[in-house]
Amino acid sequence: MRTKRLVAFTLLALGLTLSSAAEAARFQKYLNATSCLSNALCNIDFANVAAGKTQEITNVSCYLRMEDSGASMLYAMQLLQISAGGGILNAVTLNPQITDSGTPPGQNFSSIWASNDEIFAFAAAGQHFRATAQLGNASGKIIQFACHISGQLLP
């Protein structure tokens, strides 16, 4: 107990405070892309972080289904930290794995990619996270793109 008080006093003297786990709120959000389907580039924008808060993300999972002639490949899948002005502050490159590919009866060639990555990323008040997927060939099109982020919301 004495050690904890000494650490708290030292941090207070430096102008810092201890955040207890009770002050943090668990956070998770799942979103499906809707406006970018049938394109070779797709973004999912998560909500802005509220004033006075910081959002820490420790896991991101994404699912991507694409369709084309079989020549297109997944170029990039990332989680971006977006500033209040819309600029990219940081990027975490995800590690998607192909889970299925082939030509379903009566359809074009399609492939399914999935990622489940443990990360550490944070966004401050007014910023937000954006999941993005980009195909390496404009002949391809994204049929479904969905991502889930989880972590905690700190005061």
Amino acid 11 reads L
| Percentage, residues of the chain above pLDDT 90 | 56
14 backbone dihedrals φ, ψ, rounded to 5°: -85, 0
The yes-or-no verdict on residue 109 having pLDDT over 50 is: yes
- The CA-atom distances, in angstroms, between 140 and each of 43, 49, 108, 119 are 16, 33, 10, 29
As a whole number of angstroms, the distance between CA 73 and CA 1 comes to 57
Q: What is the pTM of this model?
A: 0.79
User: Which whole number is the average pLDDT over 49-72?
Assistant: 88
Tokens 């399609």 -> residue? 110
Supply the pLDDT for residue 100.
79
Query: Quick one: pLDDT band at residue 107, thresholds 50, 70, 90?
Result: low
For the chain, what are the domain ranges? Answer: 21-154
62 is written with which tokens?
């994404």
User: Which whole number is the average pLDDT over 121-145?
Assistant: 90
Fold classification of 21-154 is Jelly Rolls (2.60.120)
